[in-house]
Structure formats: C-alpha cells, structure tokens
Structure 1
Amino acid sequence: MSWEKIRDLHVEFLAEQGFRPKVDDEGDIHFRYEGRHHFIMETQDEHYFHLLFPNFFPLSNKTEVDEAAVAASTASRSTKVAKVYLNPALDNVSASVELLVSDPTEVHAHLVRCLGIIGTATGTFLEEMSARLAAAAPSDRNS
C-alpha cells in the first residue's frame, strides 16, 4: 500500500474523530492535540507507524544538552512505547511513538492512547529535566 493511501486513511480517521488534519509540504500529516502540534510521519512501509511530537523543549547550552540526554533516557526507559530524544543538532528535544502493525488502520484503535503516552513521556522528561537543572544550578546560599 502506498503512503498516499495510508495517509488518506489516517486523514479520514482523524477528521472523523474531530481533529483537523492537514498534509504538510513534506507529505506528513499534521494535527493538534491538546494544543500541541503532532505529526504522523510519512513512511512507505504499511506495517510501521510513527507519531511525532517535535521540538517540545529547546536546548541552549551544554549543561542543558547534558541534562536533557539523561532526562530523555529516563523518560524513554520508564514509559512504554515512547521515545524521547535530542535532535541531531542537539538544540531541541522531541518525543515519538513507533508501532509495528499488520494493517495501517490498526493504529486507529490506539491513537488517543498513543497521544497520551507521548504526554506521559514528555511529562516525565520535563519533571526529570527540572530536577536535574535545579541540582546543576550553582547554590545561592554562599552568596
């Protein structure tokens, strides 16, 4: 099955569920869930599903990059199905859910749960990142 057919199935499903999906210039499906931008990524494999929540946490210095790498590992390790990772430029953090399916429409029964899983993973990342940055901050008690 071609990506165009798979994409049409997903767009139709999302629209039926009240989302407002749009196909972007790269051919990915963009939609918002709870105010956040999500994408179903283009793939030529009908047995692979990739849901992306991109660039949810910008990184601006080496300390943030170092702490984000550990926080992303913690979030990925503790959340089933989700991955949290730094982008190749090391300037932002993204989260995704990737599934193997026998039919592209199988994911429709699990889409809202997948969105929740991404929310859980990003929440875990943000909690861990906040704690790590607080611990890494210089103490003001000696000033």
Structure 2
Amino acid sequence: MNELLPADAAAHGAPSYVQEVLEFLTVEGFRPFIDEDGDVLFKFEGSTYGVLVGHGDPSFLNLMYLPFWTLDDAAERARAHEAAAYVQGRMKVGRILVLADSVAADVTCYLPSDDAWRAVLFRHLGGLQALVGEFRRQMRA
C-alpha cells in the first residue's frame, strides 16, 4: 500500500471527495492513507477501516471494517455464517461479510447531501465496532 499525505491526494489525481475524507480524518486525529484502489484507509483502536470511494458519489457512504477474522476451514466458515446470521438478525447497523478465508463488515447508506457523511461517519464507526464485537462473541461461544 502506498501511503499518501492528504495534501498529495489531488496531485495524484484523486477526486475531491477523497481529498475531503483525507482532510476530515486528519483533522480528527487519524493518519489516513489511500490504498492501491483509491480508497481511504485508517486505523482506529487497533483495527483498519476504509471509506470506499471508488463509486465517486459522496452521497453514498460505504464504511468498511477490513477483514478482522480469519477462517481456517469449512467448519469455521459454516460457524461464521451462522454467527453472521444471528448477529444481523439482532443488529441492523450493517452487514457481516463472510469471505473465502476471512470475515469483514460494512455499513452502506445513501445520504441526503454530498457532505452528510461527515455527520454520520463516527456513529457508523461505533455501530461497526458493536456489530463486530457481537460477531466475535458468537464465534467464541
């Protein structure tokens, strides 16, 4: 992953939305960077999150909790599907994504304006943490 400073985003052809996300997170005390797909990644409380901006529409927020659980075999994958179904049936904040060899989570939503993502980003971040925490509890039960 190539780390870019927020001031460098425009110089590398990044859309203004990417620049806005980088600046916002930097002001809030994070050290965001752009990955090879052009998405903005940042660390929060030891985990990596991403604002996926490839769609280029700032009124559509896709906040992802990057893979947080590895799947070692088919039995664990089946347990992960069961835990994901259980958690998503009780918490409507986002989705648990059971991938081929890991598990991630995300929140996606359409917003009323291009800058509304600023008002909901931290609330969704907290929601993702709660979702993932409950998934982990179910997997360890």
TM-score category (smaller protein): 0.7 to 0.9
Deviation at residue 45 of structure 1 after TM alignment: 2.6
- Indicate yes or no: 2:5 matched with 1:8: no
Q: C-alpha distance in 1, partners of 2:26/2:84?
A: 32
Q: C-alpha distance in 1, partners of 2:121/2:58?
A: 16
- Indicate yes or no: 2:51 matched with 1:40: yes
- The gaps in structure 2 that reach 5 residues or longer are 1-13
Q: C-alpha distance in 1, partners of 2:114/2:122?
A: 15
Q: C-alpha distance in 2, partners of 1:106/1:117?
A: 17
Aligned residue number for residue 76 of structure 2? 64
Q: Which amino acid aligns with 1:47?
A: S
Deviations along 1:86-133, one digit per CA (max 9) or x if unpaired, are 11xx210001111111223212112111111111000110111112xx
Aligned residue number for residue 96 of structure 2? 84
- Indicate yes or no: 2:109 matched with 1:99: yes
- Indicate yes or no: 2:40 matched with 1:29: yes
Q: Which 4+ runs in 1 deviate beyond 2 A?
A: 44-47
Alpha carbon RMSD of aligned pairs, Å?
1.3
Q: C-alpha distance in 2, partners of 1:128/1:54?
A: 19
Normalised by the length of structure 2, the TM-score is 0.84
Aligned residues: 127
- Indicate yes or no: 2:30 matched with 1:19: yes
Normalised by the length of structure 1, the TM-score is 0.83
- The gaps in structure 1 that reach 5 residues or longer are 132-143
Deviation at residue 81 of structure 1 after TM alignment: 2.3
SS at match of 2:80: helix
Aligned residue number for residue 134 of structure 1? none
**8 Å Cα contact 1:79/1:117 also seen in 2:** no
Provide the identity percentage: 28
Aligned residue number for residue 120 of structure 2? 110
Q: C-alpha distance in 2, partners of 1:70/1:122?
A: 14
- Structure whose CA Rg is larger: 1
RCO higher in structure (CA 8 A, sep ≥6): 1
Deviation at residue 44 of structure 1 after TM alignment: 2.4
Aligned residue number for residue 136 of structure 2? 126
Q: Which amino acid aligns with 2:96?
A: V
